[in-house]
Amino acid sequence: MFKGFKQFILRGNVVDLAVAVVMGAAFGAVVDAFVKDLLTPLISAIFGKPNFESLTLTVNNATFLYGAFLNAVISFLLIAIAVYFFIVTPLNALTARMNRGDAPPDPTTKKCAECLSEIPIAARRCSHCAQPVAA
C-alpha cells in the first residue's frame, strides 16, 4: 500500500512541482518587496503620489473605490515589468548565449508548392490540397 504512495511521491515531476511551488512563493515575496520597497517609492518621487487608496467616486450613495483598483493595476504592471526586465530578459540572453554553438534541429515539415501549407517531410501528397509532392 505504501509502496505505490512512495513511488508516486518520489516521481520526478511531483518533487519538481513541489520545489517549483516553494520557490515560486519565495520568489513572489522577493518580487513583491522589490516593487513595494523600491519601484513604488521611485514612482512616488517622480509623480508625487504613491498611494491612490483615497480616490473614490460616489454615485447615488454608492461608493466606487477606483483608487484601490488603480493601486492593484499599478502593482500588477510593476511586478510584470520587474519580472520581465530583471528575470525573463537576462535568462533569455543567457540561454541564447549557451545555445549559440548548437546546430538548428533538422526540419520535420516542408511547404506544399501548391497551397503553401505545412506538411510532414515524408509526405508524398499534401493533406490539404491532395497535390502530389516531390520527395
> What digits encode the pLDDT tens for the residues 46-84?
777 667 777 788 899 898 888 888 878 887 887 788 778
Is the same domain home to 68 and 117?
no
Is the same domain home to 23 and 89?
yes
- For residue 41, what are the domain limits? 2-98
Q: What is the pLDDT of residue 49?
A: 66
| End-to-end alpha carbon distance in the chain | 55
Is the same domain home to 14 and 43?
yes
Is the same domain home to 62 and 120?
no
Strand partners, 62: 59
Is the same domain home to 6 and 72?
yes
Low-confidence ranges of the chain (pLDDT < 70): 1, 9-12, 49-50, 135
Is the same domain home to 64 and 111?
no
Query: CA–CA separation, 75 vs 94, rounded Å?
Result: 28
Is the same domain home to 16 and 45?
yes
Is the same domain home to 92 and 110?
no
Q: What is the DSSP letter of 92?
A: H
Is the same domain home to 76 and 123?
no
Q: What is the pLDDT of residue 101?
A: 78
Is the same domain home to 48 and 93?
yes
Q: What is the pLDDT of residue 16?
A: 75
Domain count, the chain: 2
Is the same domain home to 67 and 10?
yes
Query: CA–CA separation, 109 vs 122, rounded Å?
Result: 8
Q: What is the pLDDT of residue 80?
A: 81
CATH number for 37: 1.10.1200.120
Query: CA–CA separation, 95 vs 91, rounded Å?
Result: 6
